[in-house]
Each structure stands twice: as C-alpha cells, then as structure tokens.
Amino acid sequence: MYTTNLFESFSPGIFIGRDEELNKLEKLLIHDKEKVVTISGNNATGKTALWMEFLKRHKANYDERVQVLRTSSPFRNLPEIDKKISLVVIEDISFDFNLEIEKRLIELIKRNFDKQFLLVGAHADKLKMSSVNNIHLQYFAENSSDELLNKLLKSKISPKEIQKIANLTKGNPYLLGLFSSLLNEKNIVSIKFTN
C-alpha cells in the first residue's frame, strides 16, 4: 500500500515516554543513514506510535517518499517500490513471522538497496540479517505511566488513584489510553478500588 497523504492521517495524539527511543530512531535513520532498522516489543507498547511520531517530526525529509506495507495483508507477492520512495515501513511483523516471510523481506531489501527499511512488529528483531539495528520497546515505567495518565485525563484524579491505575495497567500504553478514554467519556473524577 502506497500512501501519498500519510501525514494527513496523523492524529495530534500525545507522544510521551519514548523520547530516548525516538532519538535513537532519528540517529539511526537520519544521521547514520542505516539501511535497516527494526522496532520490536510486545503488543501495545507503542511501536506504531513511535514510527508515526518520527515521520510526523521529519515530514520535510519523508513527505510523499514513504511506503507502508503490512504483513497482515497477503504477503505472497511483494509490491514494487516506487523510485521516489526513500523509506519503506513494514508493519505487523508479528507472531506469524516465519522463514518464508523472512526470505521475502530479505529479497525485497536486497532488491531495493537504495532505500531505507523500518521493520516494525512483535518479532521484528528476529530478522536474520547482518547489521540490523533494533529498538526494543518495553512497557512504561511507573513515572511515565503516571505522566501519561495526567496528560490524557480531562479531569483531575488524585495522585493515589493515578498510581493505582498505572499499577493496574502495568505500564501498557494501550491499556493506559483505554482506561483514560473510558474515564473521560464517563466524566469520572474519582475511582473506588476494592481489593
């Protein structure tokens, strides 16, 4: 799938707690001009949000020169990469990642030696190529979870309740967002936790 208006689809969302990873991605792709970089981590750790934030911040470098492929769609015949494309993002390298998909990815990368590739998914770090740089995302630490909740919640909830939510979600960015959306939707300003 080639997306010419990729940047128009970005929501202004909150990007928080991944500055170190974003800096590493910028260094690898822009400064070091690495050919292949992977972003890996468990589901809902912010892998897609990281690369989308990277592209949003570097729109001038990549506007209309990004192609996004998803391995969740039929991956039998890899598409040709347009000549004007400079970065290919391959999203959803996940639990069904196998040797056949890996061979096709390596073939695509070798065929497009003049392009950069960003491989994203739970098992993107499993790609067996030399000189692949990986950024592995973990769940948020407690202080980042608290900070994210404070930014996401429309109404103020006590720090004690914020900490309980952060503990309950175990730093999972998706669950933190889901929890805050529910609280915002219902205009909840206090939560009673029972043991």
| Residues 173 and 46: beta-carbon distance below 8 Å | yes
63-95 pLDDT tens trace: 889 998 877 655 566 778 999 999 999 887 765
Mean pLDDT of the chain: 81
pTM of the shown model: 0.79
pLDDT at 42: 86
How much helix, strand and coil, in percent to the nearest 5, is found in the chain?
A: 45, 15, 45
CA 135 to each of CA 3, 60, 67, 163: distance values in angstroms, whole numbers, following the listed order: 24, 23, 20, 27
pLDDT-derived band at 135, boundaries 50, 70, 90:
very high
What is the C-alpha separation between 136 and 121, in angstroms, rounded?
10
The residue with greater pLDDT, 132 or 29, is: 29
Segment 137-146 shows an average pLDDT of 84
pLDDT-derived band at 4, boundaries 50, 70, 90:
very low
5-16 pLDDT tens trace: 455 444 545 677
pLDDT at 53: 92
What is the C-alpha separation between 46 and 173, in angstroms, rounded?
7
pLDDT at 14: 64
Is the pLDDT at 194 greater than 80? The verdict is no
